[in-house]
């Protein structure tokens, strides 16, 4: 006769971003929280009775509410708060297992005063494509998976609305993206000894992309994209064009009102998909576009 063995249930991979605003300086904690509960759960498996079941949606809501009420001092401390709550508040729950991944961010330091701009600490991947036909060189440098985020100085409103529009206008939102960029060098002919300093060019271009992202008060991701590309073209004479692909990594305010809590732009659900995808090329005046529109065709 079959018998029920070890079992657990819960909500996996609740994506949480907690913003702490210390005046103009912001601090963030970016977590992926998975909750698994076990205990007196035989009836739900054997007879379908949910009398002892705390819903997984409730465990997700608890993660967001605790981020507001308790804060996130560390992944460990936050997990301890959650585990104690689940075991202590439900007689049917004997054990709570909380698994947390924390994603590190570094502040983007710019000549300006921005203290709300961040870049993911695990670095991007540098790319290059070189073509030579015996006389003409084409060098396309680039990067991918450069994840950046502004906790403020971003708005989105005044857009077209029709019967299917549900998105609300906002005067203060998180703007985050994963930068994929390719830039074509003006150097085409001659001795390779006269080529640009590729490492210096890459480092400077990356810095200009980050500075423009941090310093732009954004009314749309399209506007931010153009400012990023324009800053590179304006400051790096060796670059003829740059093509940018920016997925909009949406962060939505968690609804804490059902729990009697006010969400003052502090606790966000970090959505995975679907996402907006903004792409464009910024050219030096007089240059012609030569980078393929589909960046997936490049390494």
Q: Which residues are catalytic?
A: 11, 56, 250
- Tokens coding 239: 């670059």
At how many degrees (to 10) do helices 75-89 and 56-69 cross?
Answer: 130
- Tokens coding 105: 């961010």
How many Å apart are CA 239 and CA 10, to the nearest integer? 51
Q: What sign has the CA pseudo-torsion 150, 151, 157, 162?
A: positive
- Quickly list DSSP for 56-70: HHHHHHHHHHHHHHT
How many Å apart are CA 262 and CA 81, to the nearest integer? 20
């Amino acid at each position: 006769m079959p018998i029920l063995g070890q079992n657990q249930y819960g909500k996996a991979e609740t994506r949480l971003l907690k913003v702490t605003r210390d005046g103009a300086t912001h601090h963030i904690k970016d977590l992926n929280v998975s909750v698994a509960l076990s205990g007196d759960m035989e009836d739900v498996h054997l007879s379908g009775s949910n009398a002892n079941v705390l819903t997984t949606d409730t465990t997700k809501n608890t993660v967001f509410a605790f981020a507001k009420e308790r804060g996130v001092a560390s992944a460990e401390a936050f997990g301890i708060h959650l585990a104690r709550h689940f075991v202590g508040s439900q007689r049917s729950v004997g054990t709570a297992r909380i698994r947390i991944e924390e994603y590190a961010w570094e502040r983007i330091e710019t000549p300006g005063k921005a203290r709300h701009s961040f870049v993911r600490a695990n670095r991007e991947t540098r790319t290059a494509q070189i073509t030579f036909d015996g006389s003409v060189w084409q060098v396309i440098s680039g990067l991918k998976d450069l994840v950046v985020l502004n906790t403020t100085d971003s708005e989105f409103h005044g857009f077209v609305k029709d019967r299917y529009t549900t998105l609300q206008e906002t005067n203060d939102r998180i703007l985050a993206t994963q930068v994929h960029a390719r830039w074509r060098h003006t150097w085409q002919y001659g001795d390779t000894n006269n080529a640009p300093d590729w490492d210096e060019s890459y480092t400077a271009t990356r810095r200009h992309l980050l500075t423009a992202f941090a310093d732009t008060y954004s009314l749309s991701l399209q506007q931010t994209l153009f400012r990023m590309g324009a800053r590179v073209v304006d400051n790096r004479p060796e670059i003829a064009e740059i093509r940018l692909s920016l997925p909009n990594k949406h962060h939505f305010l968690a609804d804490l009102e059902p729990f009697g809590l006010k969400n003052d732009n502090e606790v966000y659900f970090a959505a995975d998909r679907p996402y907006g995808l903004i792409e464009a090329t910024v050219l030096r005046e007089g240059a012609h576009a030569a980078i393929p529109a589909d960046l997936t065709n490049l390494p």
